[in-house]
Structure formats: C-alpha cells, structure tokens
C-alpha cells in the first residue's frame, strides 16, 4: 500500500468554489470548537468587551444572524 500524497494549496484551489466554501466552513467550525486556542491582543479584547457592554446595555438594537445573512446574500 502506498502513502497518500500530501494535499497542496494548489490542490485546494483547484476545487470548485462550492467545495472550497464547505472546506472553509468546516475549518471555521473546528476552530470555533476551541475558542481558548485563539489568542487576542489587548486591543482586540478591549474592542470585544466594548461591543459586549453595548449589547448588554441594549440587546434589542442588533439584528438576528438570519436577518443579517439574508441581507448579505441579497446584496452580495
């Protein structure tokens, strides 16, 4: 039995866009499973804290993800 050839970036770029998007989604989901592995700078942490404070102060001011996604898909 022969060893499998490693996948290259060019191999990935040769995939149809739909398959590349699926791969990106799968990769992102795998990263989201371990949020503690993502290191934030102090500036990023401060920005996130400010956004979270703004949300807590007025949780009804935003839009649900389903609405945001729909707007993006209509205009994208």
Q: Kindly state the tokens that stand for 47.
A: 């920005």
pLDDT at 76: 66
Lowest-pLDDT choice from 1-5, 40-44, 69-73 = 1-5
The continuous run of DSSP H or E covering 29 comes out as: helix 17-32
Answer whether 61's CB lies under 8 Å from 51's CB.
no
Cβ atoms of residues 33 and 40 within 8 Å: no
Contact 48, 40 (CB under 8 A): yes
pLDDT (tens digit per residue) in 4-39? 899 999 999 999 999 999 999 999 999 999 988 989
Sequence ranges of the domains in the chain: 9-75
Supply angle C-alpha 69, 72, 15, rounded to 5.
90
Quick one: pLDDT at residue 35?
Answer: 87
**Confidence at residue 1, expressed as pLDDT on a 0 to 100 scale:** 62
CA distance 27 to 21: 10
């Amino acid at each position: 039995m022969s060893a499998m050839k490693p996948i290259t970036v060019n191999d990935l770029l040769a995939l149809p866009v739909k398959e590349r998007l699926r791969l990106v989604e799968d990769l992102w989901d795998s990263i989201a499973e371990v949020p503690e592995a993502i290191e934030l700078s102090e500036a990023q942490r401060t920005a996130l804290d400010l956004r979270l404070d703004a949300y807590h102060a007025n949780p009804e001011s935003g839009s649900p993800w389903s609405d945001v996604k729909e707007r993006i898909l209509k205009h994208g």
